[in-house]
Amino acid sequence: MYFLYWPVFLKLMLRMFTPRYFRPKFVFFVGFIIIPAILWFRLIVVFFQALDYILFPGFWRQEVKQPLFILSNPRSGSTFLHRMLEKDQQYTYLSLWQSLFNSITLYKLVNLIGSLDKKIGCPVAQMIDAIDRHFFKGWDGLHKAGLRFSEEDEFLFVSSFLAPGLILFFPYLHEVGDIFALDNLPDKARKRVVKNFRLSVQRHVYATGGATFLAKNAAAGGRLGIYQEAFPDMRVIHIRSDILRSVASSLSVFSKPWSFHSPACYQRKYESMSVIEMVRTNHQGIINYRHNFTPENLLDIEYDNLVSDPEKTVMSIYQHFGMPLNAEYKTRLRQDCIAAKSYRSTHKYTVEEYGFTKEEIIRHFDRKTIENQLCAA
């Protein structure tokens, strides 16, 4: 990606100091801790990515054949499906640390440290577990997360300030519309994003042995053109779900960090529009772009079917795409599906908790859809 995409970065920074958002805690935590940490981290990764060309010069010729992308509305089963598929050895996928350390050289260093750590009683692994418990405890019961868990490809874009995932830190993201629709970036910028996304995936596939790349994202509806330009033969699983349920659940999850760094914005109606706009642009982006995929490379599945009969749903995926299904994975799948059926979520979300009515959400989606159609005409 870009080291830093200045047009978006400057918009985010300037809004931080407006009367509406300027709060000492917010500016200190996000402006003087989170942003510098992202930039320093990005600088380190770029340095090691440069080393990749010297130490592993063949990576940029790595073939990435028919990568499989799971697309959905946020909070609509993409993680559940991904974590069932990822247990099949024919796939390679990003864990959180791999999406953060997107460099073959760093992969090798991390693996070396891991091997040495096992020989001395795993103090590093224990430290990572402690970090996960501290930083991801707020997500327990919502989305099992941690440095070693599989995660979205979103973090490949976050460090360049080109991702809807930045909504975790900026409650005014809907005021910076560029970030929801990267396909609409200026041509030069867009081509650069395509190239670097392709290289990011090539690095991962090269470092992990050349298996089929498996990814999932619930906020990528505005960059599907970038995905397909990078990988024309990509395959897509689209999980269709109740949009109102997705909005309500997303408001709970994505605004959660605001209660810490921007409590004045937490559950405030105007800022909540950032989450609603993220869901809307993702949903509409998938609907608008889906005709660009050939029927054999696109499969729609229903969220309710995935939850009620995950084994049958997964089997339909393998059948549709003609993917091999070995006996070992089939046995593991059946065991996982039995365990999944016993799970019952204790979380119930409503848009009313954030000051909205269902009618308001529906009107917003419809109004934006009509506006987009008029602009296209």
Q: How far apart are CA 240 and CA 301, in angstroms?
A: 6
Contact predicate 155/145, CB 8 Å:
no
Instruction: Reduce the DSSP state of residue 250 to 3 states and report it.
Output: helix
Q: Is residue 284 in some structural domain?
A: yes
* Total count of domains within the chain: 1
Alpha-carbon gap, residue 145 to 139, rounded angstroms: 7
Q: Of 136, 59, 26, 49, whose CA–CA distance to 101 is shortest? A: 49
Q: Of 69, 87, 78, which is closest to residue 325 (Cα–Cα)?
A: 87
CA separation for the pair 233, 222 (Å, rounded): 19
pLDDT for the residue numbered 132: 81
Does residue 32 belong to any structural domain of this protein?
Answer: yes
Q: How far is CA 127 from the centre of its chain?
A: 25
Whose CA is closest to 33, among 140, 145, 135?
Answer: 135
The single-letter code of the amino acid at 251 is L
Residue with tokens 């109606």: 269
Nearest residue to 171 via CA among 349, 31, 21: 21
C-alpha to C-alpha distance for 86 and 69, rounded to whole angstroms:
12
Does residue 92 form part of some domain? Answer: yes
Give the range of the structural domain holding residue 371, as residue numbers without chain letter. 6-376
| Residue 1 in domain | no
Report the candidate in 170, 194, 121 with the shortest Cα–Cα distance to residue 273. Answer: 170
Model pLDDT, residue 323: 95
Which run of H or of E encompasses 91?
Answer: strand 91-93
Establish if 252 belongs to a structural domain. yes
* Domain annotation covers residue 140: yes
- pLDDT tens string for the chain (377 positions)? 567 889 999 999 999 999 999 999 999 999 999 999 999 999 999 999 999 999 999 999 999 999 999 999 988 999 999 999 999 999 999 999 999 999 999 999 999 999 999 999 999 999 998 988 877 765 555 567 788 889 999 989 998 899 999 999 999 999 987 899 999 999 999 999 999 999 999 999 999 999 999 999 999 999 999 999 999 999 999 999 988 889 998 998 888 889 999 998 988 899 999 999 999 999 999 999 999 999 999 999 999 999 999 999 999 999 999 999 999 999 999 998 888 876 665 567 788 888 898 888 888 887 655 454 444 43
Alpha-carbon distance of 190 to 222, in angstroms, equals 12
Please state whether beta strands 68-72 and 212-217 pair in parallel, antiparallel, or not at all (unpaired): parallel
The pLDDT of residue 145 is 77
The enclosing H or E element of 68 equals strand 68-72
Across 233-273, the runs of DSSP E, i.e. the strands, are 235-240
Specify the DSSP class assigned to residue 263. T
Count of helices and strands (H, E) across the chain: 17, 5
Phi, psi (degrees; rounded to nearest 5) at 5: -90, 100
Which CATH number is 255's domain given? Answer: 3.40.50.300
Question: Residue 99: inside a domain, yes or no?
Answer: yes
Pairing of strands 212-217, 235-240: unpaired
Residue 190 structure tokens:
């867009």
Mapped onto helix, strand or coil, the DSSP state of residue 208 is coil
Q: For position 206, what pLDDT does the model report?
A: 98
Joined tokens for residue 262: 């921007």
Residue 301 in tokens: 């599945």
